[in-house]
């Protein structure tokens, strides 16, 4: 019996998705629950499972094709089933009609290339996994598994030499490099900055205690990405980048932003987090911010509102998004029901959501319905962030780095751990007084962090 595989609709705002990679090829046997393909939606990168067991008879679209939701993208059937040209043409005609009705680009039929089978880890080339920067190709070729593993292990693909066909980076190259840096002493922030900037940690000279590589060491090192490709080359936007561009343009065009900025003394918060870490509790500064925003919403309920066709919709629950950078774009998983969660609950849920985001396993419940988003760029040495509101939310909080600054306390001068927060608000929903009350409460909570426990 022939079954149709359709592009899933995984959220109310989702109208189309692009095919990131097929994980099967025509003729493959699949079971219910097997991963068929990876897609990029308007908010996340996801894996699509099969609802049927059988044989993949026909793949209708290729990598990078954009297809409207509910359009047929493949057929699964029994071994003896035959897919006629008429069935294929009918499915593509329906896809064209769906695209027209949704006002999205119509998919163009294309030949579907063969899919590389699951990669085997080669015994060679693990020790020579660094690419000579001067000979870096203009494009970075890497398998989907390599990209996913690189994101999870924080390995910059720019520094690798691919051992796959035609120099393609495969998962083994990523794992080989990851095993090499496991023997290095690297601070978590330095590891993150190296991944974001494309810096080869094996070539970084450490300055920390006991040969530890610190963030400043990475920032002083040359980035591999700077050597990639000729100037002026044109690279098409990924589906995720394209949607980010569309949503941010829509936000600035339709939402009247106003901004408030405030310096916050994080000295006590730094000590509070250090004490939690020493006791075995894993809590990040983002977790403290999420908890503080939650309590600030409770103190200023007029801030927890949304736009509803010319009216204000007051929210009873607090759902806070956290901007997470991943390979190829930016997504905002949402910690839901924060009003009923402790700081440690939030820390656990945030950690799980970030892992799901980087593993392309988010569901619509994981990224929809946020009240406010936190955009933290402090780990990159940024002092001030002026963010753009995510459509549907009342505000977004931009977070800069925590750094020692001279501060006047009373009539004296002290050195304190300070950060600059910027709150961007939707002026249709809240005015300056409401936002300022919320912001002041947020500052008070962060400066007395024991209230967050």
Give the end of a domain, one of 227, 261, 279. 227
pLDDT, position 245:
84
Q: In which region does residue 309 sit, left (phi positive, over 0), alpha (psi from -120 to 50) or beta (all else)?
A: left
Q: Is the pLDDT of residue 182 over 60?
A: yes
Task: Classify residue 123: in a domain, yes or no.
Answer: no
Helix, strand or coil for residue 319?
A: coil
pLDDT, position 29:
94
Task: Classify residue 114: in a domain, yes or no.
Answer: no
Task: Classify residue 234: in a domain, yes or no.
Answer: no
pLDDT, position 433:
97
| Same-domain status, 426 and 279 | yes
d(CA 409, CA 431): 31
Indicate if the alpha-carbon torsion angle 271, 206, 178, 144 is positive or negative: positive
- Count the domains in the chain: 3
| Same-domain status, 279 and 354 | yes
Give the tens place of pLDDT for each residue, 210-237. 888 998 888 888 876 443 444 456 677 7
391, burial (CB in 10 Å: exposed 0-12, middle 13-18, buried 19+): middle
**Enclosing domain of residue 346:** 242-452
| Same-domain status, 275 and 189 | no
pLDDT, position 225:
46
| Same-domain status, 390 and 421 | yes
User: Looking at the whole model, is its pTM more than 0.85?
Assistant: no
What element of type H or E holds 32? none
With tokens 């949503």, the residue in question is 247
d(CA 109, CA 440): 55
Over residues 273-293, mean pLDDT: 96
| Same-domain status, 311 and 424 | yes
Give the tens place of pLDDT for each residue, 354-383. 988 887 778 777 888 999 999 999 999 999
d(CA 416, CA 405): 6
């Amino acid at each position: 019996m022939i079954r149709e595989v359709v592009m899933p609709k995984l959220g109310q705002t989702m109208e189309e998705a692009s095919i990131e990679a097929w994980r099967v090829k025509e003729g493959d046997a699949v079971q219910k629950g097997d991963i068929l393909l990876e897609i990029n939606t308007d908010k996340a990168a996801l894996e699509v499972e099969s609802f049927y067991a059988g044989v993949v008879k026909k793949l209708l679209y290729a990598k990078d094709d954009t297809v409207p939701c509910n359009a047929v993208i493949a057929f699964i059937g029994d071994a003896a089933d035959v897919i006629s040209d008429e069935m294929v043409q009918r499915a593509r005609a329906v896809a064209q009609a769906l695209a027209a009705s949704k006002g999205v680009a119509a998919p163009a039929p294309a030949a579907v290339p063969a899919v590389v089978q699951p990669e085997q880890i080669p015994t060679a080339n693990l020790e020579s996994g660094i690419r000579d920067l001067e000979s870096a190709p203009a494009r970075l070729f890497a398998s989907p598994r390599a990209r996913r593993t690189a994101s999870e292990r924080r390995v910059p693909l720019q520094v690798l030499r691919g051992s796959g066909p035609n120099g393609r980076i495969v998962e083994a190259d990523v794992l080989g490099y990851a095993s090499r840096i496991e023997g290095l002493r690297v601070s978590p922030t330095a590891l993150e900055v190296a991944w974001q900037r494309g810096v080869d940690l094996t070539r970084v000279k450490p300055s920390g205690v006991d040969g530890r590589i610190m963030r400043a060491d990475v920032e002083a090192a040359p980035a591999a990405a700077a050597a990639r490709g000729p100037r002026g080359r044109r690279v098409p936007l990924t589906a995720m980048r394209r949607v980010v561009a569309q949503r941010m343009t829509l936000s600035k065009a339709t939402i009247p932003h106003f901004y408030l900025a405030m310096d916050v003394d994080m000295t006590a918060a730094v000590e509070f987090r250090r004490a939690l870490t020493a006791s075995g509790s894993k809590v990040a500064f983002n977790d403290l911010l999420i908890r503080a925003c939650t309590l600030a919403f409770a103190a200023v309920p007029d801030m927890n509102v949304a736009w509803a066709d010319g009216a204000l919709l007051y929210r009873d629950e607090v759902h806070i998004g956290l901007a997470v950078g991943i390979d190829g774009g930016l997504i905002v998983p949402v910690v839901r029901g924060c009003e009923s969660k402790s700081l440690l609950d939030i820390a656990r849920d945030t950690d799980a959501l970030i892992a799901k985001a980087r593993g392309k396993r988010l569901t619509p419940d994981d990224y929809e319905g946020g009240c406010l988003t936190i955009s933290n760029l402090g780990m990159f040495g940024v002092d001030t962030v002026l963010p753009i509101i995510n459509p549907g939310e009342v505000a977004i909080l931009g977070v800069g780095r925590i750094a020692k600054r001279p501060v006047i306390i009373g009539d004296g001068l002290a050195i304190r751990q300070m950060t600059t927060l910027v709150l961007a608000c939707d002026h249709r929903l809240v005015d300056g007084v409401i936002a300022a009350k919320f912001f002041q409460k947020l500052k008070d909570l962060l400066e007395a962090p024991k209230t967050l426990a």
